[in-house]
Structures are given as structure tokens and as C-alpha cells.
Structure 1
């Protein structure tokens, strides 16, 4: 059970980190090769729980757009490396497409007997975000278990009601940013059913600045903010 929870936790961290950077996307994602970003996660009591670091390491033309490669590292609150891997995204006509299926078992807590598989939809972020815009829904499934043995985790998450709610100014240790505020519901089926209300703040020409997750009663359960940007 502890392995299942650890896998889920790292998945959530990388889910948000994977949304955070892109090269030549224009709009709300505009990072360059070599740019490094650090994001710190906190629990509902404002205690740091993890630090995620990522870097744009490559980009190349593909059919209809640009393919982007990212390197990721996640550390726990004590600075111990939890997971490390690479992933890709794609820009098409200025819109950013992030494919959750790129998150592999290499990003999850290490175990020689553990196998992880992830399936799901692309999350699309348009070049232009206007208050009132509705964005495309998505669904994700993550399974983990022992090679040739039983499944110990089978999580489904449906992301619905994505929309641009407002524009706000967000201040973080990395600076102050004018952001588009995106909201959506995440219905998760894992050790029971629950629904989270999620909020993302995107700064034009920068990317993801802050995320928040609230329970069904509106109580904030966790959040993540940019704490350092290098090579912008």
C-alpha cells in the first residue's frame, strides 16, 4: 500500500510538472532550450513536501509543429531524490499538447518488481486564453503491480469542466506574474471515489506558475508554486 501511495504522489507531481514548460509555443508557454525551473509542493498546512526541477533539453521540428524534450527530477522535503526521467510535449500552431502517456515507470519510485503503465488523453492548452473559454476534457488511467503478479493499484482520473475563470496577479519566490486562472474538476477512483477541484495559474510567455487542489468542501489540500527560474 505504501508503494501504491508513493507512486500516486509522484504521478501527481509529474502530472503538473509536465504542463509547465514548452519551447516556441508562444502564448502561455514560451521556454527556451536550457531553461531550468524549480517548483515546490506544499501540504494543506503549508509544509513543503517535494521539490520538482526540470529543464528543456531539446526541441526539433515534427509534422505540424515542434517536439520538446524535458528532463525531470523530484526530491522529497529532505532533499532525497525520489524520481528522475525525461518526457516530451508538442507545440502545434502555438497550442501546447502534453501527453500524460509519456510519464513512464522510470518516473515512479524504484522497485525491481514493480511495473507501471499509464494511458490517457492529451491535455491541450490553446495559445490564447479568454475568460469564459471551455477547454477539452481528458481522462487518465495508471496501473502498477508486480511483474507477472497481482495489480496493487488501479487509478482512474477524469478531468472535466476545464475553463478559463479569470485573470489574477500571482506572487511567488520567483517573482510576480500576471496569470490566466484555469479551473477543472478531477474525479479520482483510487481506494474509494473523490473529487478534487483543481486550479492552475499560467503566465504568458512563462508557463505554469501555481497549482492548487481543493476537496469537495472547498478546503485546500495541497499546492505547488514556482520557486526558481534560470535561463529565461
Structure 2
């Protein structure tokens, strides 16, 4: 059976008790649904992700998620927990790498998070955010591949309005290095996230070291049910 621990940086702001513990730059309203479309380097639609906020407590947020490929065929789905503490929301660093990890859909893999990805409630331009890291083990039947994911040099660089099919959002822009270190080979990417209050990730771009776009994710729909 495939083991998937994939998600996209998701969204959350909540009511009452949970609101004091979680970051307002995530969608923590129970019943909120967010749909993102992922595009490849040629701007072709490659994947669709859906996140539904199921419940919120003072210690975290439970989310249902589903992924579909470009043909609309279901890839995977499940539940995930995001932690909340001291007005900060935490998630595993591999959660922002759906487009990269989806290439391993025919393999079993496990993820061990070392340092969770943190988004605080208070952001300002010029702010440096903590690094995050995780270790991934891939089972390719005849061989096991191990590598680490390290997100570093995370900085809040500016504020910017972003237009999407879901509407126009006032966002903080966060840039960071995304490195995959393995014994055989390593890869390094430059990433940019646009996050909005009450929504979380509105847009994300991943670039190769030569500056060429590798993938882009854009918020397509936000609904409350």
C-alpha cells in the first residue's frame, strides 16, 4: 500500500479558543474548503489539491485532503493534523512539496520530521523565520533511498496583492531555500510563498538553481460549507 504524507501549505484562522493559539495566516475556520491548482514549468495543469478544515481545537487543526492528477483521477487523500502553540501554526516541511513528492506515487515512503515548519501570527517585512527539516525514506523494492529535506533562509520580503480565480488577496511574501540532500545526489530549489490572513497559501512558485520555473500553485476556490 502506498504511504502518502503529502500536502500543500494550507490555510487557517479560527474561532474563539483555537484562534489564540493558531496563526491567523492559516485557514482555521471549520467547514472552509480550499482548492489549489498546480502547474508545471510549461504552465500546464498537472494536479489539483483540495483541503477541508474539519475541526479546530486549542492545540491544532484537523484537515481532510485530496489530490487529483491532470486527468481528474484521484491520487490520494486522507487526514492531517496541524499543531498550534503560542499563536504559531506548525506543519511538516514536506507539506509544501506536493509537486516534488508526487513523482514517487508508485513507491512506499515514510517521513520523519525533525523541525516543523512554523508560521507565527505576527509577520513583518525583513523578518527571518526558523528553518525546518525532515528525513524521507523511499522503498524502491530492490533498494531503499534516504534523503533529507531542509528549508532554510526563510525571509519575509514584502507585501503584495495577488489576483487569483478565488479573488484578490493581500499577502506576505516569503522566500526560502528548499534542499533535498541524499547520498547519491542532492537538489536545491528556490521557493516563494504568498500567504494571506484567513487563507494561508494563495500562491507558490518553485525555481531551479538556474532561475527557471519548475512549478506553480495557485488558489482556485475558497468556500465555506
Interval of TM-score (by shorter of Structure 1 and Structure 2): 0.7 to 0.9
Find the partner of 1:52 among 49, 54, 60: 49
Identify unmatched segments of 5+ residues in structure 2: none
Shift of 1:21: 3.4
Task: Give RMSD over aligned pairs.
Answer: 2.7
Match for 2:36 among 34, 39, 43?
A: 39
> Are the equivalent residues in 2 in contact too, given 1:173–1:227 (CA < 8 A)?
yes
After TM superposition, give the deviation of residue 26 of structure 1 in Å. 4.8
Q: Which runs of 5+ in 1 are unaligned?
A: 1-5
Hey, what's the Cα distance between the residues in 2 that align with 1:110 and 1:195? 21
Aligned to 2:127: 133
Aligned residues: 211
Deviating beyond 4 angstroms after TM superposition, the runs of 4 or more aligned structure 1 residues are: 100-103, 107-111
Q: Is the 8 A contact 2:180 2:187 kept in 1?
A: yes
Per-residue deviation at 1:153?
3.1
Alignment correspondent of 2:157: 165
- TM-score, scaled relative to structure 2: 0.83
Matched, 1:69 2:62: yes
* Distance in 2 separating the partners of 1:58 and 1:221: 34
Aligned mates of 1:94, 1:68 — CA distance in 2 = 13
SS of the equivalent of 2:8 reads: helix
How far did 1:139 drift?
1.3
- C-alpha spacing 1:151/1:59, structure 2 compared with 1 (3 Å): farther
TM-score by length of 1: 0.81
Say whether the 8 Å CA contact 1:29–1:207 is kept in structure 2.
yes
Distance of aligned partners of 1:93 and 1:80 in 2 relative to their CA distance in 1, 3 Å threshold: same
Change (3 A) 1:26 1:117: closer
